[in-house]
Amino acid sequence: MISRLLVALDRVSPPVRASAHCDLPCGVYDPAQARIEADSVKALQQKFQDSDDPIFRQRAVQIKEQRADLVKHHLWVLWTDYFKPNHLEAYPDLHDKFWTATKLAGDAKRSVDPAQGQQLLDAIAEIDRIFWETKK
């Protein structure tokens, strides 16, 4: 019964194809989004180190892993939507910088060492520097 109703509704009002946000870029890009999440990663790595409460540590790891995924997401959006071929010409190591930063974000999911979190922040700082140079 429900399947016949859905078929009938499709005939009256066919489904509308949705488009992703990036089909019409808003033009608002900023590495700060990745940096804020990376700051959280490092802070959670430190909180893990400072605690001996197993439940708190487990929660810190869960949140850290979520934040590391968000770092990767924000880096990918910046890489795939903002940077263009002319940026690669001006900064030939740009692809490697993004690859390194993204790999460090992935490593952050497995690491509870704040030094690793600092490496991630340093990699994002390089991308941030290049980003602002391209905005001039």
Q: Does residue 79 fall inside a structural domain?
A: yes
Number of domains making up the chain: 1
Q: Does residue 59 fall inside a structural domain?
A: yes
Rg (CA), the chain: 20
Q: Give the model's confidence band at 132: pLDDT under 50 very low, under 70 low, under 90 confident, else very high.
A: very high
Q: Does residue 42 fall inside a structural domain?
A: yes
pLDDT in tens, 37-84: 999 999 999 999 999 999 999 999 999 999 999 999 999 999 999 999
Q: Does residue 16 fall inside a structural domain?
A: no
pLDDT in tens, 77-128: 999 999 999 999 999 999 999 999 999 999 999 999 999 999 999 999 999 9
pLDDT in tens, 18-33: 444 454 556 789 999 9
Q: What does the alpha-carbon distance between residue 72 and residue 98 come to, in Å, rounded to a whole number? A: 10
Domain limits for position 129: 26-134
- The alpha carbon of residue 92 and the mean position of all alpha carbons in its chain are separated, in whole angstroms, by 22
Q: Does residue 4 fall inside a structural domain?
A: no
Which region, left, alpha or beta, applies to residue 5 given φ > 0 means left and ψ of -120 to 50 means alpha? alpha
Domain CATH number, residue 82: 1.20.120.400
Q: Does residue 102 fall inside a structural domain?
A: yes
Q: Does residue 14 fall inside a structural domain?
A: no
Q: Does residue 60 fall inside a structural domain?
A: yes
pLDDT for the residue numbered 85: 95
